[in-house]
Amino acid sequence: MLEYLEAGWGWQFARAFGVSLTVAVLSFAFCILIGIALTIAARSRLWGAAAIIKLYTYIFRSLPDILLLLLIFYTADGIINGALAMIPGMSHLTVNPLVPGIMSTSIVLGAYSTELFKASWADIPSGQNEAGRALGFSVFQSLALIILPQVYRKMIPYLSSLWLISMKETALLSIIGISDIVRTASIGARSTGAPFTFYGIAIAIFIVFAFVSAKLFHRLEKQSRRSMGEI
C-alpha cells in the first residue's frame, strides 16, 4: 500500500477527499437550511404550504438519489443558459460538475431534514412561544433564542446521521466523472491491477471519517446537554 501512496496516489486520494468533503459540507449546510425553512413554512398559516411541503418530502424520499443527480446533471446547463440567453449581454455559462452533485444531495437530504425538524419541533410545548412574547421578544427573536436552540438539541443525533449520509452520497459523483474518493479508487485499481488495495483505501477513508464524525457529534451532544443544565 505504501508504495502506491508514495507513487503519487496518496496525493490523488487527498485531493479526492477534499472534493468529497467540499460537496458533503455544502450539501449538509443546504439541507439544514432547507429543513429549517420548510418547517417554518409548514407551521405557518400560509395556505397550502403544509400540503406542498408534505408532497416535496414524499417525492424526494421516494426517488433514488442517482436519478435526481443524472436529471440535474443533464439539464442544469441547458436551463441556466436558456435563462441567461434572455438577458441581453449575458454570455454562455459552463456549469461546474460539482453543482449537480451538491444540488441533488441537498434536495434529497432536505426532504429528510424537513421531516426530522418537523418532528423535533412538534415536541416543543406551544407555551414556549407565549413565553417569548411575554418577555417582549419578536417572532424572530423567539425563534432564534428559544425555539431553534431546543430543536438543535433534539436534532443532534439525527444531524450526525445526515452528515454521514451526505458524505456517503458523494460516491455518486464518480458517475458524472468527478474525481471523488470512489472514482480515484476505481482508476487506481484499473491502472495498477490492485483493486483490493485501492478499494481498501477508499473504505478506510470512509470508516475513519465516520469514526471522527461520531466523536465530534458526541461531543456536541454533551456540550448541548451541559448548556441546558443536564449532566
The set of cell numbers assigned to 176 is 458524472
Q: Read off the C-alpha cell for 120.
A: 423535533
Residue 231 confidence (pLDDT): 40
Contact 131, 56 (CB under 8 A): no
CATH number at residue 197: 1.10.3720.10
Helices (H), 123-168: 127-134, 139-142, 148-168
Residue-level pLDDT at 7: 59
Q: Which residues contact 81 (CB under 8 A, 6 or more apart)?
A: 92, 93
Domain count of the fold of the chain: 1
CA distance 44 to 143: 13
The residue length of the chain stands at: 231
Q: Which domain holds residue 200?
A: 2-227
Residues 6+ apart with CB under 8 A from 55: none
Residue 204 identity (one-letter amino acid) = A
Mean pLDDT by runs of 10 across the 231 residues of the chain is: 61 91 94 91 84 93 88 80 68 77 91 89 71 69 75 83 92 87 90 86 93 90 67 40
pLDDT score for 229: 53
Which of 202-211's residues contact partners 24+ apart within 8 Å by CB, and which partners? 202/13, 205/13, 205/17, 205/181, 206/167, 206/168, 206/181, 209/167, 210/164, 210/167
SS3 34: helix
User: Which of 124, 118, 97 is closest to 44 using CA atoms?
Assistant: 118
Secondary structure of residue 77 in the 3-state scheme: helix
Question: What is the Rg, in whole angstroms, of the alpha carbon atoms belonging to the chain?
Answer: 21
Q: What is the pTM of this model?
A: 0.84
Distance CA(44)–CA(62), nearest Å, equals 25
Measured CA to CA, the distance from residue 141 to residue 91 in angstroms comes to: 43
